[in-house]
Chains A and B, each alone.
Chain A
Amino acid sequence: MPERIIKYTEAIKEATDQVMEIDPSVFVIGLGVSYKNGADGTTSGLKMKYADRVFDVPVSEAAFTGMAVGSAINGLRPIVHHGRVEFALFASDSIFTQAAKWNYMFGGNNNVPIVFRINVGRQWGNGPQHTQALYSLFGNVLGLKVVIPSTPKMAKGLLVSALRDKNPVVILEPRWLFQLKQDVPVEIYGEPLDKAKIMKEGKDITVVSYGDGLVSALEALSIIGDSVDVELIDVVSINPIDHETIFKSVKKTGRLLCVDTTNEAFNIGSEIISKVAQNQSIHLKNKPTSLACPNVPCPTSTALTEFYYPTKIDIANSILGLFNKPKVDKKLSFEELHLAPTLTII
């Protein structure tokens, strides 16, 4: 197969397009999804191709999300797009209390096949009300399946699987990754919604992450080189978390580092470390560690965001530190610190 490098956003659009071609019950709804460069490019061109199945909407998140949930209860398969998690919160009743509970509270009588694509997290200059990385909030809601695509390949495969699933699936898309590139298969394929993925095998330490933290961890691997053999795991699903894959890895390596790009309290790493402590402590050679953002909202000024997110250097040094190896002393450029990565993932 020849290489075909495309962007994260293009992978999402391709998945949507390919599923829409096959399944007429799928439609797209959200603010600006019909624009030329709709939803940051993730829906661009779809309105031209599927004029009656792509809907721009009033600025009325609660109503249009509720409408989409109601249509899913009655058999359609909406893709609801929210450009930021803060906007989706206007629709929290429809997502958390209606879609998520419907099948259970009616004794399995009515599934709700809906996909919520919600953009989250880091973006330069967006400040406390546009950058919340509320992953755990969704991880905590029973009845939702929740996944985080960390690469273009996963973005495509997870969306396809979400659209084949019978349940409400929330896809939390880290905005920071929109420009990432990768060789993505042209054909349609699904990725399991409930399985963690081993990105790189190793024997010395298990590093678990997702989203922008995972990409920084990947970059940290090349800084560390051969001095430590890292096993890097993409958590992929946070509802449920695939603890078995992580346990197996920790049993092998005896060490665990979790990297979160949300605040320390109640994050994904806390959940993973808790389960590892309860089930695998006899295998641990060091206490599990976690790298995360401080317990304050993300401010706007670059002078402050500079210290907010764990960087590839922080990750490398925290791993090197565990093995008493010399730390790297490198300063990141302004671009590396503040602009979204455009690198190509292998």
Chain B
Amino acid sequence: MKSDFLQAYKTMLLMRLAEQEIANLYLQNKIMSFVHFYVGQEAVAVGVCDALKKDDKVLGNHRSHGHYLAKGGDLKKMICELLGKENGLAHGKGGSMHMIDKSVNFVGTTPILGSVVPLSCGSAFEQKYSKKNDVTVAFFGDGAFEEGIVYETLNLAALFKLPLLFVVENNLFAVNSKLNDRRSPNYDIEKIVTGFGVKYVRADGNDYQDVSKKAKNLVEEVRTGVPVVLECITYRHMAHSAPIFDEGYREEDVLEKRQEKDPIKKIKQVLLESGMSEKELSDVEDDIKKNVLESIKFAMDSKYPPKESLYTNLYA
């Protein structure tokens, strides 16, 4: 158990430290790619992906650095993509919003809100059609959940009994719009989801233990063809699409509250209570930091794609 937690802590910390460095690069104009930071939501990606097998598939949205790393992604290739380099995940064609890595069954990400949902349904459809015993996970936000295509897909997934786990990361905001501005006072996500015949579970997205415990139980059920929505309530620590802080519109998740509920602080506390020392944990942190800095250096030193690559890949 302790080693599971340690591994989860490491992955979450890797995301956090990597994004802090990515934020620095962004502010220095070194990243000419639209970047949405995952800081604060790490427990969701890690908690869910810890419940998956390698063959299970994951799709994401515009805020998917964490989803990719949690699925076993390669930090170097990810940063190369962010920097627009040839050896990035999409050879520089995609950038931060478009990540793909079939070697870890990371199917792809798209920033068009809601679009990931029917595509994930198609992935689950293939898994069932081909009689694989695998599941697909779609990560998307509370904002995306408002697209009509999501509701249509809930029906499809239930109708076809697909092995699809919808993970709704509810960080309370769509850009700066609060839930109250976007949903009727009687909006009840549980009733909506279950009304389509899809199972609904809610987790504390700031708590790795809660997410991973629920995800582990659910994924085995999903595998039998029961689609599920797992809604994780969490906080997005940075601004919508930049590390710049605009606290003006925040009420429910003010800075102190975000810090108090920080998922990394929480899991660290669990590790300390299980007997690990501060020293051991800071050694872990140093190692990860070193890895992050090496990856960034590697990416900075990597080559840009050649001009000809502009014209390739439109068709296979």
Contacts and interface: CB of A to CB of B under 8 A. Distances in A.
Report if A and B associate in a common complex: yes
A87 B110 CA distance: 12
A125 B32 contact: yes
B245 interface: no
Interface of B: 31-34, 84-85, 88, 92-95, 97-98, 110-114, 143-144, 146-149, 174-177, 181-183, 248-249, 304-305, 307, 309-311, 314
Nearest to A61: B147
Nearest to A295: B314
6 contacts: A59-B182, A130-B97, A299-B310, A300-B33, A303-B84, A303-B307
A127 B94 contact: yes
B305 A303 contact: yes
B49 to A, nearest CB: 24
B146 A86 contact: no
Contact of B92 (A32, A294, A300): A300
Interface of A: 31-32, 35-36, 56-63, 86-87, 90, 124-130, 294-297, 299-304, 307-308, 338
Contacts of B97: 127, 129-130
Given A58-B183, A300-B92, A301-B92, A125 B147 contact: no
A128 B311 contact: no
A36 B114 CA distance: 26
Contacts of B144: 59
Closest 7 CB pairs of A and B: A301-B84, A301-B92, A300-B95, A303-B304, A58-B146, A125-B33, A58-B182
B167 to A, nearest CB: 17
Contacts of B112: 86-87, 129
B147 A59 contact: yes
Contact of B181 (A56, A130, A308): A56
Given A125-B34, A300-B84, A36 B310 contact: no
Given A60-B146, A301-B304, A128 B314 contact: no
Contacts of A128: 93-94, 98
Contacts of A299: 92-94, 310
A127 B148 contact: no
Nearest to B98: A127
A59 B97 CA distance: 18
Contacts of A338: 32
Contacts of B98: 127-129, 300
Contacts of A294: 310-311
Contacts of B183: 58
A231 B218 CA distance: 67
A127 B93 contact: yes
B84 A59 contact: no
A36 B148 CA distance: 28
Given A59-B144, A59-B174, A297 B314 contact: yes
Contacts of A307: 307, 310
Contacts of B147: 59-62, 90
- Of A61, A87, A308, chain B has the most CB atoms within 10 Å of the CB of A61
Given A125-B32, A301-B84, 4 more contacts: A90-B114, A128-B93, A294-B310, A294-B311
Contacts of B32: 124-125, 300-302, 338
Contacts of B148: 60, 62-63, 90
Contact of B146 (A59, A87, A127, A300): A59
A304 B146 contact: no
Contacts of B114: 59, 90
A308 B94 CA distance: 15
Contacts of A125: 31-34, 95
A12 B91 CA distance: 38
A32 B95 contact: no
Nearest to B113: A59
A332 B304 CA distance: 18
B62 to A, nearest CB: 9
Given A59-B143, A299-B93, A299-B310, A129 B34 contact: no
Contact of B84 (A61, A296, A302): A302
A296 B92 contact: no
Contacts of B95: 125, 127, 300-301
A296 B307 contact: no
B33 A127 contact: yes
Contacts of A60: 146-148
A301 to B, nearest CB: 3
- Of A32, A86, A129, chain B has the most CB atoms within 10 Å of the CB of A129
A130 B111 contact: yes
Nearest to B248: A36
